Amino acid sequence: MCFSAPVSFTATAALSISGVAGSYFAIKKNKRFLVLNMMAFFYALQQFSEGMIWIGSPILSARFWGTLFLFFAFFVYPWFSGLSCYIISRQPHIKKKIAWIILAGLFFGTWCFSNVLLTPNLGLDLCRLHIFYNIHIMGGYHITGSVMKFILIPIYVFLTAAPFFICDKHYSSIIGWAIVLSSMVCWFVYFDYYISVWCFYAAIISCCITLMTFLI
């Protein structure tokens, strides 16, 4: 997360509590929502990873924590949102549509994370209260370039948000809109630090997931 180590570690605790609460509601009301509520724990682990980067990582290397953060951001989320919605949806024709998005997300996420693994010197720069992940896209395109801004981010947002609009459960579209709006804020205001800052906003989305699980 951006800002500082205390904020990251505080968010870790808050997200863990959110995940426990959401999982509790899922067990009590509808176990299909357990997978969806796993996202809060993923976000918590990401914020812990960034906290370790902020403090200089006395356990393992900063590159390890940065790679772990990017594993979820680049590989997991493009398909996990779809998987969560697939599990909680009931109607076969809706599940079929979501399945195609999951497949696309798997391919996209694998490709995105391969760029992280192929970046020879993964940069983790602390500047202006943010963490800048210096990744080379396809070996040459800069992470803040036009390819990222006008192609990759729109695809990413579609894959992570669309399943919630297609899902047949009440309130799921609220999560979809939260993803879209938070992405737009990061795109326009914090683009150079989009990866880190969007995950901060995405952490807030996990609270929406907990609320959705409570309301089912």
HEC string of 61-107?
CHHHHHHHHHHHHHHHHHHHHHHHHHHHCCCHHHHHHHHHHHHHHHH
Please state, in angstroms and as integers, the Cα–Cα distance from residue 187 to each residue in 127, 180, 193, 199, following that order. Answer: 18, 10, 9, 12
**Number of continuous H segments (helices) and E segments (strands) in the chain:** 9, 4
pLDDT at 108: 96
The pLDDT of residue 134 is above 80: no
Q: How many domains does the chain have?
A: 1
* Tens digit of each residue's pLDDT (9 = 90 or more) over 75-88: 999 999 999 999 99
Q: Convert the pLDDT of each residue in 27-44 to its tens digit.
A: 999 999 999 999 999 999
Scanning the structure block, which residue is given the tokens 């990017």? 70
Q: Is 200 helix (H, G, I), strand (E, B) or coil?
A: helix
Residue 10: predicted pLDDT? 87
**What's residue 152's pLDDT?**
87
pTM of the predicted structure, to 2 decimals:
0.88
Question: Domain span at residue 78?
Answer: 5-215
What percent of the chain has a predicted confidence (pLDDT) above 90? 46
d(Cα 178, Cα 200) in Å, to the nearest integer?
A: 12
pLDDT at 144 over 70: no
Task: Give CA–CA dist 51/1, Å, rounded.
Answer: 7
